[in-house]
Structure 1
Amino acid sequence: MILDACGTATGMGFVAVARVTDNRWITCASRDRVNFGLTPGDELDVASTICSEVRACRSSITISDVDDSEIYRDHPTPRQYGFKSYISVPIIKSDDSIWGTLCAIDPNPREIGSHAEQLFTIFARLIARELDRQDELTKGREELAEGRATLQTERDTARLREEFIAIVGHDLRNPIAAVTSGLRMIEKPDISPDRRAMLVFEMQRALTRASQIITNLMDFARGRLGAGIDVNAPAPIDLVPVFRDVIGEIEQIAGQPVLSSIDLPRALVADPQRLAQLLSNLLGNAVAHGAPNQPISVDIAERNGELVASVTNQGTPIPPEMHPSLFHPFSRNESNQKGLQGLGLGLYIASQIALAHGGRLDVSSSAEAGTTFTLHMPAKPA
């Protein structure tokens, strides 16, 4: 309607709204009665247009007849585009930026009076106000979306904080209570040696669990503060005794047998403490979630230039839809019937240790083969 009104008021055959920047002239809308050939999306070389001058001077330019204009009689633009009459009014937004122009041309001279120029100016302001309104709507939608996202983040943070406190309280209270109770019972004079040995074993298992929780919490906090998982691997090291020690510790506290196979013929560059932590976390996860009457299998070997370490337990398989989130912090297998099994940091920390060594952790789970977590990392001998 604006383009039709401008064309009718001036008699000009081509009227357009153009987006004009320092380096582009783009047709946004057009009314073409003279086959000038520009449709929305078409572009002109901005340097070849008079609209670039309108943008520079921030005011209207009108030419009723190029041949009668001392300024534009020899100007290259009218000759290049074949017009005799011209009008262009800047579209200036509320932030005082020039968005583009409302312009018109015709191959014939057209009398452009003050009324027509005023009409173009009014319409240019109307277009500018509409652009401002669209900006406000877009900004409003973005602010609304940002507000909703912030609210959801706050809700998630509050929920996570409550879960975190509940799980930490649960996980640390239990081993502390076990040790306290064990010490109280050991002090009794009539306790048998077998009973004393069993209590010591239970306290050792409780302290191992508490130590693992605290280590994972410290690593998680360090990662959240930007430090990440630190790796200290200055030289090749024989990892076989490192892994055997971890397996031996877990065997002492596990209710199920642990079957292990280690085939590492040479020393490798790696952080022994971190890899021990990784294996301990994987074994701890297998003990917590595996079937108590079925063995846990550990297979560690160097294959095709990689250190490959897998831990397999039997029991209820992990649903495929849960696999992507297993290595996220605070991820826990809610389908497990043992209740709260921990902070859900063990697999996350293990995956970060693998990543720090240039490797990765994979998971596979089925009723037939059991659940297997596998480390793949480069086997660097030097």
Structure 2
Amino acid sequence: MDFEQAETSVSSYLETLPDQIGLVGSLCDPYLLTNKNGDILGYSDSTRELLNLRQASNLSNILTAEDYQKIENTLQGNKIAGEEVLVPVAINGETATWLVKSIRSRSGSLFLHRIFLSSEQEEAKNDFLSNVTHELRTPLTALVATTEVMLQDYKDIPQSELGSMINLLHRNTRRLESLVSNLLDVAAIQNGTLHLRKSWASVESLVKDAIDFVQPLLNSKNQRLEIRTISEAPALFVDQRRIISVIVNLLSNASRYGPPNEPIQLIMANEGTLVRISVRQRGPGIPKNEIAMLFKRFYRASTSDKSPVGTGLGLAIVKEVVELHGGTVGVTSQSGKSTTFWFTLPIESRIQGK
């Protein structure tokens, strides 16, 4: 649904606001509906994400004082219905264009606000949608093709080929599972509904489960995994599924960006009150100007010899999950040599973890 369609729909349903507004604009570009006092009557889902809306009931809650003054001057002015006013505002440290349009209403003055993102933000969003589509299509295509062959010729397929087909089905199913899990986690993070279900687990068991998940990916590039334990690693009180996902994300990235036939190191270390887990791969490294952006949603690192790959969700989820556990994340990279991603988790006593 584009903005013009949304505007027509909103005009038709003004008497049923604010219930209808969420349905009308759920898939629209970022926009809000307010009265002349700046009270928020409705907004699209993309606006909630962009402005991090939670309890905000007025534009003054989500804009700087300076930007709100610009918008307020427009709302309080005598604007003719249909007239549009463009106002530059700051959103998430970026300059965006805020379009205010007065619309006719029997219930009083109403205003539609459309937010135009910067070209970089729009490009990131479009790249994300394109890459999610690609990431979904690739394993789905493999699954469909393999199952069709098995259904048609299952009686004549040699045992050795059948085993390979089952392995292919398993690998692509796990790939889909990982992608869908990432998408669900991002949605939960945005909505503030990501909750941890903690239980006790050994570091070794968490690492083992993660390795089992990514082993087919490592095998496909002939990458050997070297596991190093510097000192005794205690049990941790964590959300096991999410910490396994953190390790899977780091190992998958190391495999994706690391060269074939080269080892990947996974290092576990007990640092007193913390456990540190590091994943290191050889390769071209990450440009210094990109390191600060790596843990932002939709950002995908580039290298000197390949274009960005993936959805740009994995590291953002890693950061959120680790910080929810009270830990930290980081990365070090040496140009032309190696890159190491690491995260820490606090060591809790059995009494604290109850």
TM-score category (smaller protein): 0.5 to 0.7
SS of equivalent residue, structure 2 residue 292: helix
User: Which residue, 281, 284, 297 being the options, matches 1:329?
Assistant: 297
User: Which residue, 110, 128, 143 being the options, matches 1:179?
Assistant: 143
Work out the CA distance in 1 between the residues paired with 2:116 and 2:329. 30
Matches of residues 1-382 of structure 1 in structure 2 within 5 Å?
Answer: 144-146=87-89, 148-150=96-98, 151-153=115-117, 158-187=122-151, 188=153, 189-227=155-193, 229-233=194-198, 235-254=199-218, 255=221, 256-262=223-229, 264-335=232-303, 341-367=309-335, 369-382=337-350
Q: Is the 8 A contact 1:201 1:253 kept in 2?
A: no
Work out the CA distance in 1 between the residues paired with 2:186 and 2:256. 20
Letter in 1 for 2:252: G
Superposition TM-score, scaled by structure 1 size: 0.58
* Unaligned runs of at least 5 residues, structure 2: 1-68, 75-85, 90-94, 99-114
Letter in 2 for 1:244: K
Work out the CA distance in 2 between the residues paired with 1:148 and 1:284. 35
Work out the CA distance in 2 between the residues paired with 1:308 and 1:379. 10
**CA distance 1:223–1:190, change in 2 (3 Å):** same
**CA distance 1:335–1:265, change in 2 (3 Å):** closer
Cα offset, 1:183, TM superposition? 1.6
Work out the CA distance in 2 between the residues paired with 1:172 and 1:258. 27
Residue 45 of structure 1 corresponds to: none
Work out the CA distance in 2 between the residues paired with 1:183 and 1:364. 43
Q: Is the 8 A contact 1:302 1:379 kept in 2?
A: no
Work out the CA distance in 2 between the residues paired with 1:208 and 1:375. 24
SS of equivalent residue, structure 2 residue 269: strand
Work out the CA distance in 2 between the residues paired with 1:166 and 1:215. 18
Q: Is the 8 A contact 2:266 2:278 kept in 1?
A: yes
Cα offset, 1:225, TM superposition? 1.6
Work out the CA distance in 1 between the residues paired with 2:233 and 2:293. 35
**CA distance 1:336–1:220, change in 2 (3 Å):** farther
Q: Deviations over 1:204-254 (max 9, x none)?
A: 221111111111111111111222x32222x53323212112112212332
Letter in 2 for 1:231: L
Cα offset, 1:145, TM superposition? 2.8
Q: Deviations over 1:172-218 (max 9, x none)?
A: 00000011112223342443333222222222221111111111111
Work out the CA distance in 2 between the residues paired with 1:153 and 1:290. 34
Q: Is the 8 A contact 2:330 2:342 kept in 1?
A: yes
Q: Deviations over 1:305-363 (max 9, x none)?
A: 21100011111211011000000001112337555622110111011111111111110
**CA distance 1:159–1:266, change in 2 (3 Å):** closer
Superposition TM-score, scaled by structure 2 size: 0.62
Cα offset, 1:170, TM superposition? 0.5
* Unaligned runs of at least 5 residues, structure 1: 1-134
Work out the CA distance in 1 between the residues paired with 2:293 and 2:349. 33
**CA distance 1:231–1:296, change in 2 (3 Å):** same
**CA distance 1:273–1:317, change in 2 (3 Å):** same
Q: Is the 8 A contact 2:294 2:315 kept in 1?
A: yes
Work out the CA distance in 2 between the residues paired with 1:374 and 1:290. 16
SS of equivalent residue, structure 1 residue 145: strand
Cα offset, 1:261, TM superposition? 2.6
Work out the CA distance in 1 between the residues paired with 2:132 and 2:116. 24
**CA distance 1:197–1:225, change in 2 (3 Å):** same
**CA distance 1:217–1:166, change in 2 (3 Å):** same
**CA distance 1:336–1:273, change in 2 (3 Å):** farther
Work out the CA distance in 2 between the residues paired with 1:186 and 1:336. 41
Work out the CA distance in 1 between the residues paired with 2:338 and 2:297. 23
Work out the CA distance in 2 between the residues paired with 1:201 and 1:173. 18
Q: Identity rate of aligned residues, in percent?
A: 24
Letter in 2 for 1:271: D
Residue 100 of structure 1 corresponds to: none
Q: Is the 8 A contact 1:351 1:361 kept in 2?
A: yes
**CA distance 1:232–1:318, change in 2 (3 Å):** same
Q: Is the 8 A contact 1:239 1:272 kept in 2?
A: no
- Aligned pairs, number: 244
Work out the CA distance in 2 between the residues paired with 1:148 and 1:269. 43
